[in-house]
A and B are shown apart, each in its own frame.
Chain A
Amino acid sequence: MGIKLITLVVIVLGVLAIAQLMRVYELSSKLRKTGENEISNRDNKLNAKMMLGFMIFMFGGFIGLIWKYGWVGRGDAASVHGHDLDWLLNVNFIIIILVFFLTNFLLFFFSFKYVKKPGVPAFWYPHNNKLEMVWTIVPAIVLTVIIILGLKEWGEATGDAGKEAVRIELFSKQFAWEARYSGKDNVLGKFDYKLTHDEKNPLALITMETIDLAIDNMEHGPVGIDSLEHKLNNRKIILSPEDRDKMRKDLKRKEQLVRLLYQMRNGHDDAMDTTAWDDFIQRDTLYLCKGQQYEFNFRSKDVIHSAYFPHFRAQMNTVPGMTTRFKFTPDKTTEDMRKERGVEDFNFMLLCNKICGTSHYKMKMLIIVLEEEDYNDWLSTKEKATFWDTFNTEAPAEGETEENPAEENQENT
């Protein structure tokens, strides 16, 4: 409380002090018989000099920042197209910094130089078509260059990935990333959000078994249709009207979803199931291979996120209801980068760069780039961890024991 009081007192005193100063100033200017609108030569000159001074402060500050934090303020890129983008950024930066210095210099210098001097009238100069043409055409030419260079890079960065690119899906949700490697066939299995099952099928892949699991869960799961109906119809359970209302809505929603699931089951062709079964899911850490092109497919479970890889100069939003893509080729391993930077604990990372809720700022994934050999070693550890393996062996979590999807799946296959 003390601090608040003191702050308040200081503010009040400050205001009073200024008021007093104003009074004195006003009285003295009344004596001098000049109004606030009559700017004295002294004031004019003072402000003119300040203009020049400010320009020096501003330019100095800018150069100082560059000095301290490096020419565009960031380290080298670690991907193939990233180097091109950095080159383009440098070109653009040179252009805009020149323009920045030149025009700001003219502005502040003229402001300094052409301050009112008694007896010197301003120069009557309402227009000059030639000049105006010049400064329409020159920017137009410069911009043309910028556009052409920019579109070339843009085309390359966003073009389709080659056939040999490895497909990886990056799945985003509040507030974590998960990766799904496309497995041996390099084809990502299809998905449908309605199949999501937190333990057994978090990425909602489509196979006959996962459809059955979802239907079963929706009908007989712990908060499935059966249990809702039971609660709603059981007179012994007393529910507040709001809860009852909520449950009814929930029931309606689930009935609608289950109808859709049956439709899906009817139309399902299980020939494609293998594309999903050989995929494998990777949490926490994304392993990549140096020199390998990757095509990332992005998905979101809930709101828009954005997959941002600052060191690879890559970014793409993840949008619920649609798949977005971006490709790049890392060309430095984590080790390379540590040496280059001289920092032992440096790591690549994937961040979220679209506001997505409370822990947006913590939504991240570690990325490790390896040499081919090490990468293959790592891959081989994943051979027994495909979707098929995890789906069929992982024990269901506690409280979910009334259903036994593993058995059911055996029947279906």
Chain B
Amino acid sequence: MAAVAHEAHGHHDAHGHHEESFVSKYIFSQDHKMIGKQFLTTAVFMGVVAMLLSILFRIQLAWPGESSDTLSFFLGDKWAPGGILSEDMYLGLVTIHGTIMVFFLLTGGLSGTFSNVLIPLQLGARDMASGFLNMLSYWFFFVSSLLMFGSLFVETGPAMAGWTIYPPLSALPQAVQGSGLGMTLWLLSMTVFIASSLIGSLNYIVTVLNLRTKGMSMTRMPLTIWAFFVTAVLGVLSFPVLLSAALLLMMDRLMGTSFYLSDIIVGGEMLTNHGGSPILYQHLFWFLGHPEVYIVLLPALGLSSEIISTNARKPIFGYRAMIGSILAIGFLSFIVWAHHMFVTGMNPFLGSVFVFTTLLIAIPSAVKVFNYITTLWRGSIVYTPAMLFAIGLVSTFITGGVTGIILADAALDITTHDTYFVVAHFHVVMGLSAVFGMFGGVYHWFPKMYGKMMNTRLGYAHFWITLIGAYGVFFPMHFVGLAGAPRRYYEYSATYGYFDNDSYQQMMDLNVIITVFAIVAALGQLLFLFNFFYSIFRGPKAPQNPWRSNTLEWTTPVEHIHGNWPGELPTVYRWPYDYSKPGAEDDFIPQTVPLAEGEEEH
């Protein structure tokens, strides 16, 4: 195994392998650090695309029917004739925005980047269990990103059935033009994406289970690793179900089967399909879909645990309870899926069961929040940009979490389902929390990934603009939803403007506010992009352990080498959270420092 070979020529090698070609180092790399960076750059690109799409449809929502230069600039005459967004493209933009954000930015990007970079480094491993599979995982991700991005340029438009692509709408090109080639590409892309995710996850699981260095017992692992581990398990158990859902849909589309179709007349054509059930698709989709929420969220929570503990200079409060909650959330996330289906005509008793299980999840989530807050209590907080984002995450996790209680209550979901209240809820709890976690992770581990420092002041500016923008967008959105605005509506004058002008005025006022904040927040991201790319090339050189942190990744040299540690692998003697331990000289004790005489392990 590669790891063994490296022991032999260990420290002569501080500058990596000179014989490595450009291609094998930067493109078809099998090194987990490089693969992590590849995931990150691809995800950043996809994230920018998705953000841009959201600005485009937000312009339509705030100023419906008004000609906009921005729209005609990006969409041209075909999709924005006269600078007015076409109805179909509106649905296309919403669909691709959602898909990219959830799967490409926050699944591929977040867990792909940080699982890759951190799992071997924080466990004291030379690399992932299989470097080759790891490389495949990235290239599958890359191909699926290209397919998804490419689908935006299809003649009949991208998929237009919402990111949940419920059939029959997604199955029948007669129903909406995006369900033609656009949907085929969507399904292909997701199939490749799922393959990538599965390969990656299996690799993470095996690595965590087998490649921990000496002394790194499971209960000494940083919470990041716990989070990545449980995330990978969730992925392995749930993504295959999405794959089967997608395959059945493909068969309905291409081979005339009737898994999801029954008794349909569309576009004047009477179909012969009989006996299928569109609800079956929803069960399959949400069996992945709900765990997916936690696949997105857990890594972010893991990253922020590490960041908060380090920068509060305090051990994370209730380490074991934190592990327990991660496991509980992971388990419960598999038995709540039908809370997305309360008003599908599902048996009301079944609905009751899902109300119960869903509300149970609130308990471990609450425990996590309280533990974060207690970690801050009487800390000695250092405000690095990463710390700011981690605190932002805790705030959005609370704010989005509490509205989940409303939606989980089936009786209340009757009126809030599929309104903007839902959109606001999941953006805050999943979108913002995960994005904040991701930003925090990038600021915190940038020195490790690139050997350079990002600019702190720009980081501050970026954070405050993002936080204010984020709340400015999503707080008012709750009220749009409560006023009764359905989601995926191109505009509201045809309905509310016509029947209920009061509510209409409320929606329109708020929609303008939301869009303005969204544009400000989006421009704020330029600060990040600039800081990120500028620092990669011109940032000041990073010290070895910039944040005075305990975990193993900071014991590796700043210059990346294949195999991570020049000499022997480090040995671990303690948990990773010995910050400000009484009696210690420094306010941190790296995991590689043996217990002093008479010292107790926390």
Listed in ascending order, the chain A residues whose CB lies under 8 Å from chain B are 3-4, 7, 14-15, 18-19, 22, 25-26, 30, 35-37, 39, 43-44, 47-48, 50-51, 54, 57-58, 61-62, 65, 69, 72-75, 85, 88-89, 92-93, 95-97, 99-100, 103-104, 106-108, 110-111, 114-117, 120-128, 131-132, 135-136, 139-140, 143, 146-147, 150-151, 153-155, 157-159, 173-174, 192-194, 196, 253, 256-257, 298, 301-304, 306, 308, 310-311, 313-317, 319-325, 341, 343, 345-349, 351-362, 364, 366
Contact = CB atoms under 8 A, between A and B. Distances in A.
B383 A115 contact: yes
B374 A150 contact: no
B565 interface: no
Contact of B483 (A43, A74, A298): A74
A37 B494 contact: no
A307 to B, nearest CB: 9
B345 A158 contact: no
A110 B602 CA distance: 24
Contacts of A364: 494-495, 498-499
Please list the 4 inter-chain residue pairs (A to B) with the smallest Cβ-Cβ separation, ordered nearest first: A321-B262, A324-B345, A73-B482, A37-B546
A362 B495 contact: yes
Contacts of B409: 88, 92, 146-147, 150, 154
Contacts of A357: 91, 160, 169, 175-176
Interface stretch (B51-59, B204-212, B219-227, B316-324): B316-324
A56 to B, nearest CB: 12
Interface stretch (B142-150, B387-395, B429-437): B387-395
15 contacts: A74-B503, A114-B377, A122-B587, A125-B377, A143-B363, A150-B410, A253-B272, A304-B166, A314-B414, A321-B262, A353-B418, A355-B162, A356-B169, A360-B91, A362-B495
B270 A355 contact: no
A65 B580 contact: no
B499 A358 contact: no
A361 B489 contact: yes
B313 A122 contact: yes
A123 B69 contact: no
B88 interface: yes
A26 B315 CA distance: 33
Contact of B587 (A121, A319, A355): A121
B317 A302 contact: no
A90 B343 CA distance: 21
Contacts of B495: 349, 351, 361-362, 364
Interface string B484-519: 101111111011001111110010001000000000
Interface in B91-124: 91
Interface in B417-462: 417-419, 447, 453-458, 460
B81 interface: no
Contact of A308 (B360, B394, B453, B486): B486
B321 A92 contact: no
B384 A39 contact: yes
Contacts of A136: 363, 366-367
Contacts of B351: 154, 158
B455 A36 contact: yes
Contacts of B380: 114-117, 120-122
A358 B88 contact: yes
Interface in B162-184: 162, 166, 168-169, 172, 175-176
B543 interface: yes
Interface residues of B, number: 141
B500 A346 contact: yes
Given A88-B412, A99-B402, A356-B169, A302 B499 contact: no
Contacts of A302: 168, 172, 175, 264-266
Nearest to B398: A103
Interface string B269-291: 01110111111000000000000
B534 A19 contact: yes
A100 B401 CA distance: 9
B596 to A, nearest CB: 15
Contacts of B454: 36
B382 A89 contact: no
Nearest to B94: A355
Contacts of B272: 253, 256-257
A107 B398 contact: yes
B367 A121 contact: no
Contacts of B491: 361
A276 to B, nearest CB: 17
B168 A304 contact: yes
Given A89-B406, A92-B412, A359-B87, A22 B398 contact: no
Taking each of A257, A313, A343, which has the highest tally of chain B beta carbons within 10 Å of its own beta carbon? A313
A51 B457 CA distance: 16
B317 A65 contact: no
A320 B261 contact: yes
Contact of B344 (A58, A154, A317): A317
Contacts of B542: 37
B563 to A, nearest CB: 26
B471 A72 contact: no
B180 to A, nearest CB: 13
Nearest to A29: B540
Nearest to B73: A4
Contact of A114 (B319, B379, B384, B467): B379
Given A154-B348, A304-B166, A103 B456 contact: no
B344 A349 contact: no
A22 B539 CA distance: 10
A398 B270 CA distance: 21
A54 B468 CA distance: 8
A39 B383 contact: yes
Given A35-B546, A96-B402, A319-B344, A122 B579 contact: yes
A216 B461 CA distance: 73
Contacts of A88: 409, 411-412
A315 B422 CA distance: 15
A127 B278 CA distance: 49
B362 interface: yes
Interface in B227-275: 261-266, 270-272, 274-275
B500 A349 contact: yes
B343 A315 contact: yes
A14 B483 CA distance: 40
A100 B399 CA distance: 6
A124 B69 contact: no
Given A349-B500, A364-B495, A320 B262 contact: yes
B265 A127 contact: no
A46 B82 CA distance: 47
B506 A69 contact: yes
Contact of A15 (B319, B482, B530): B530
Given A103-B373, A147-B355, A122 B169 contact: no
Nearest to A223: B268
Contacts of A159: 348
A107 B373 contact: yes
Nearest to A57: B468
Contacts of A4: 69, 73
A314 B394 CA distance: 34
B314 interface: yes
Nearest to A65: B479
Contacts of B372: 107
B356 interface: yes
A128 B539 CA distance: 42
